[in-house]
Structure 1
Amino acid sequence: MSKLTLGLQLGYWGAQPPPNLVSLAQEAERLDFDSVWVAESWGNDCFTPLAWIGSQTSRIRLGTAVAQLSARTPTACAMAAMALDHLSGGRMMLGLGVSGPQVVEGWYGQPYSKPVTRTRDYVDIIRQVLAREQPVTSDSEFYPLPYHGPGSWGMGKPLKPIVHPLRADLPIFIGAEGPRNVAQTAEIADGWLPLYYSPYRQEVYADQLLAAKPGFEIPALVLCNINDNLEEALYPVKAMLGFYIGGMGSKARNFHKELMARMGFADEAEQIQELFFAGKRDEAIALVPSRFADEISLCGPRDRIREKIRDWESSPVTSLLINGDSALLREMAELVL
């Protein structure tokens, strides 16, 4: 068994920024949480809140989970990561993800093509920037450097960053769900950010993780709800799953639905999506199997959660990413740390 660390997952904003971002991060740091993570969707970016939090903490590691590839070029992403790493004294972790076709094409106005290849090219360029050994070049079809395509003035030349990176080995994490993307993540990244992970179905990802090098980190999002009534405790997990499996993707392609199918719940995933698209959201949530919701979360009475933590300690997961108020953070710190 390996000892788990804890991370605070702050997610992305709703209509307004949460008023307690800094105070929660400070409480997590006081409780010896290892990391704090900020996400982006089509609202807030992830670097700005993380910089704000980093300026008011001193030890906790700072992660993007995840910075969307289509939101910025790889060199722009590397610049933001370098700046935050310097300003925080080496606490930055760069979590990346391709997002999905609805966001990439609908919000960023870019084609959602070859996501696995695009991710590899993106990471390669960032690694070059951080190494700062020579001017950055790439023959990528997505990120050619220098650019000599249509509209080019023909004046571009390879450049090295002016800023000397604080760490050439600034850790890069990738949020991946598909088998090919997870396998590539184990090969090219320092860590993997799974959305749903079940310590009871380790075989789902076992082959894809074989290429992971020593020290490879797996911080997994784990929804926690301490409640003596297990079904009540599981409801927020089911609501999240119903929304992502039913609505976060098109009818033709939904990566969350496909993952649920690979984890053994294909029929339920199909029915959940059908109900969600029919406007029957409550029925879709009710159809989420309690078994599935329970496997990927830590819910129920305190003693039950304590027992389940042992199952997570026996998995490849290295950190549990928790989302909740300060009371939940304290409870989980007592149980895990």
Structure 2
Amino acid sequence: MDYGYMLGYWKAGPPAGALETVQEAELLGFDSVWTAEAYGSDAFTPLAWWGSATSTIKLATGIAQLSARTPAATAMAAMTLDHLSGGRVILGLGVSGPQVVEGWYGQAFPKPLARTREYVGILRDVMAREAPVSAPGPQLPLPRTGEGTTGLGKPLMSTLHPLRQHIPIHLAAEGPKNTALAAEIADGWLPFLFSPANDAEARSLLAEGFAKRDARLPGADAFEVSVPVPIVVDQDVEAAADRLRPMIALYVGGMGAKGANFHFDAVARLGFEAECAEIQEHYLAGRKAEAIAAVPTRLIDEIGLIGPVQRIRDGLARWEESVVTRILVQGDITAVRAVAQLR
């Protein structure tokens, strides 16, 4: 089991002490640091900044949103950062949801699986730099032609030579179809709100994707599964749970619309459908305090590690026996230090 440090996206501003924590995580043997984006801070800039003050820790987006950039722009950012960092980039990608894609980026959301497949194909072609890049579409055609264009576009090849022709691409996925897609076309899977209780289903979905895997990609034995795990060290289990309830209430109740919330669906599949419905009802009605209070501790225990160090040690055993290959510690410096001692 490898361990990474998940910083996620910023709230109102840069997280306090982030650089120092990243540097300590590197010294403690964590293999990667992961950033994210929603509709505020971006995923690449913090990695460039913190990466310049580190030397070995991998720099991973977890996740960069597909609709935030064209495939070519994402490839340019990844290749540039890979050069600057000496080959430390992991490119984690995800489709986000319709509220962000259509409301923030002004892009159409339908057919996310088809868009992901096209996007990754273009990324690989750009980063391999074997020929000018073209793609048939229909969602992401290169070059773009037809109505509204000049007709002057032509296939181009990156002027930047890649440091590595194969930068690892990991796909964020919570649903069954995109989980299988990750195993088919990517180098890793980034589940979210995952529990070791899902292990058998996860292995089955990944096997479905591996059966269709392109032989030019690294084999299934090299495939990585990296999971953000919220970790709170506290002698009082309920006090630790209280620190995570607002985050879970937000994702289950407030991210996406009713009937179109992938996080709701992921937690419901863990056997918490009734609890999710109650959380969402409160949250969408503006009753955030009630939504937070409705998050049960047993749900937090499914997707996180909370309480005294010994309790966290015992909980880690479930994760180590699962399909997960890397735990991304989502917590403060105390959590980072505690996990380092338990590895």
Using the size of structure 2 for normalisation, the TM-score is 0.94
Indicate the larger mover: 202-211 or 135-144: 202-211
Distance in 1, Cα, partners of 2:264 & 2:334 = 32
**In terms of mean alpha carbon deviation, does 234-243 or 165-174 score higher?**
234-243
Report if aligned partners of 1:64, 1:93 keep a CA contact under 8 Å in 2: yes
Q: Is the 1:204–1:262 Cα contact (8 Å) retained in structure 2? A: no
* Alpha-carbon shift at residue 90 of structure 1 (Å): 0.5
Quote the residue 1:255 is aligned against. Answer: 262
Query: 1:165 aligns to what?
Result: 162
State whether structure 2 residue 22 is matched by structure 1 residue 15: no
Give matches, 1:104-143, under 5 Å.
Answer: 104-143=101-140
- Cα distance, 1:108 vs structure 2: 0.5
**d(CA) in 2 for partners of 1:75, 1:238:** 38
Which residues of 2 match residues 223-242 of structure 1 at below 5 A?
A: 223-242=230-249
SS at 1:111's partner residue?
A: coil
C-alpha deviation, 1:20, in angstroms = 2.0
Q: Which residue pairs with 2:92 in the alignment?
A: 95
- Structure 1: distance between partners of 2:142 and 2:8: 33
Secondary structure of the structure 2 residue equivalent to 1:218 = strand
In structure 2, the partner of 1:45 is: 42
Amino acid aligned to 1:335 = L
Q: CA deviation at 1:146?
A: 0.8
Identity %: 53
Distance 1:21 1:301, change over 3 A: closer
Task: For residue 326 of structure 1, report the CA deviation from its aligned partner.
Answer: 2.4
Q: CA deviation at 1:16?
A: 1.4
Q: Deviations over 1:76-135 (max 9, x none)?
A: 100000001111000001000111111111110111110111111000000001111111
List gaps (5 residues or longer) in structure 1.
none
Match in the other structure for 1:72:
69
Q: TM-score normalised to the size of structure 1?
A: 0.96
Alignment partner of 1:270 is 2:277 = yes
Q: How many matched pairs? A: 333
Kept in 1: contact 2:202–2:323 (CA 8 A): no
Q: CA RMSD, aligned part only?
A: 1.2
User: How far 1:205 sits from its partner (Å)?
Assistant: 2.1
Does residue 1:285 correspond to 2:282, yes or no? Answer: no
Between 18-27 and 249-258, the greater mean CA deviation after superposition? 18-27
- The Cα offsets for residues 45-64 of structure 1, whole Å up to 9 and x where unpaired, read as 11111111111100000000
Once residues 330 and 199 of structure 2 are traced to their aligned partners in structure 1, the CA distance between those partners, rounded to angstroms, is 23
Consecutive aligned runs of 4 or more in structure 1 exceeding 6 Å deviation: none
- Is residue 189 from structure 1 mapped to residue 186 from structure 2 by the alignment? yes
